[in-house]
Amino acid sequence: MELKNSEYQIQGVPVTEIANEFQTPLYVYDADKIINQISTLRNAFNGVNLRIKYAMKSLSNLSILKLVKEHGVDLDCVSIQEVLLGIQAGFPKERILFTPNSVSFEEIQEAVELGVVINIDNIAILEQFGDVYQDTVPCAIRINPHITAGGNAKIQVGHIGSKFGISIFQMSHVKKVVESHNINVVGLHMHSGSDILDSEVFLMAANVMFDCAKDFPNLQFIDLGSGFKVAYKEEDIVTNIPELGKKMSKAFQEFCASYGRDLELWFEPGKYLVSESGHLLTKVNVLKHSPAAVFVGVDSGLNHLIRPMMYDAYHHIKNVSNPEGPKRVYDVVGYICETDTFGYDRKLNEVRVGDLLSIENAGAYSYSMSSNYNSRLRPAEVLVFNGVPHLIRQRETLEDLTRGQVDIFSSIPVKTEEASLD
């Protein structure tokens, strides 16, 4: 979103026009931003066979999936439902990685039947996998490198206390299981967390993986997960992707030379690809003055965007209707019957009832984590592609809230007692 001729635009389309056409609250995504992020990541890695696996849990709309697929991106899935959606979006099965945790073995068997790449993060499941498939079905193994990295503690997943992956301290056990069950391990995987700034963290984790790789002679890929930091504020420090690409490409080439052949290098960006493309458009319902703050109440809440409340995440907010008005300080809050503050003490261009606000960086883990809390409806989604806004998800209706519910009292009489007249 950029300010041109005193109005905010996306690909030349005034944001106010998009809001008027599709109504608020509304998620709007800029396809050009997603495409640019893909190109930036791909161009940063030279001399290596790079595969980008989009972490679809960040934003799973079918149109977004098809957009990234058409730009050569593969898929990273964490549930069988995501796998099925990926197949529906047209991804070839060999381009889909399935990395679940704490699922039943039956779900893994279903994924095997679908023909996707299986990634296992549990020794007990690995043993079951070997009992059933031995060397007939290849798999990857997710390793926990015991590296604490990332922003909020809830998105740090590579430390020793994390439920994800098999500890590097258990690799001798893993090797015995692989050998005794004749398991064909074709990939090693890790993911330390999200919002990682320092490229040295990725290199540290990569060296752990390279060291483990010597015990697996049939590898086809090393998957280093993701966690690239994007900007939420103008002054934010972000992951230096060109620097990371240069350093990692060199390190990976050296590893492949020592391993004896070239492997594929995989990354699994989600937030990096789609976060900055997304905008949650909301209308100002009320201005409420209190002794402590001036509250701007909008027609959305934590049911649509839970990240500020769940992760203390910062999302920049713009007054689209009054981009050049004088600055005032506000608390921007939602309409849910809980504390659902989008931003405290925000300097916004003067806000008036009826104004259109845009909550930025709403492409990743925003709609995909939304809910019907307070029986509120989830918003529509729009993708601006080639300068044209396209509806890619309809706004929910009341019928969507009750779909699947069974009213037993439509057929069972309810006995009531007459009120006493004493």
Tokens of 357: 């606000």
Q: Is 259 annotated as a binding residue?
A: no
Q: Which amino acid is at 160?
A: I
Q: Where are the alpha helices (DSSP H) in 134-290?
A: 171-181, 199-213, 241-259, 271-274
Pairing of β 327-333 and β 294-298: parallel
Catalytic residue among 77, 139, 212, 337: 337
Question: In the chain, how many H helices and how many E strands?
Answer: 12, 21
Tokens of 14: 């005034």
Q: Is 367 annotated as a binding residue?
A: no
Angle at Cα 132 formed by Cα 128 and Cα 135, nearest 5°?
A: 105
Compute the residue count for the chain. 422
H/E run at residue 288: strand 278-289
Q: Is 307 annotated as a binding residue?
A: yes
| Nearest-angstrom CA–CA distance, 68 and 59 | 11
Q: Is 227 annotated as a binding residue?
A: yes
| Nearest-angstrom CA–CA distance, 375 and 106 | 33
Q: What is the CA radius of gyration of the chain?
A: 24
> Is 337 known to be catalytic?
yes
Tokens of 121: 């993060």
SS3 351: coil
Tokens of 279: 């905008």
Binding annotation for pyridoxal 5'-phosphate: 227, 365
| Residues that are catalytic | 337
Q: Detail the residues annotated as belonging to a binding site.
A: 227, 307, 311, 338, 365
Annotated binding residues for substrate, as ranges? 307, 311, 338, 365
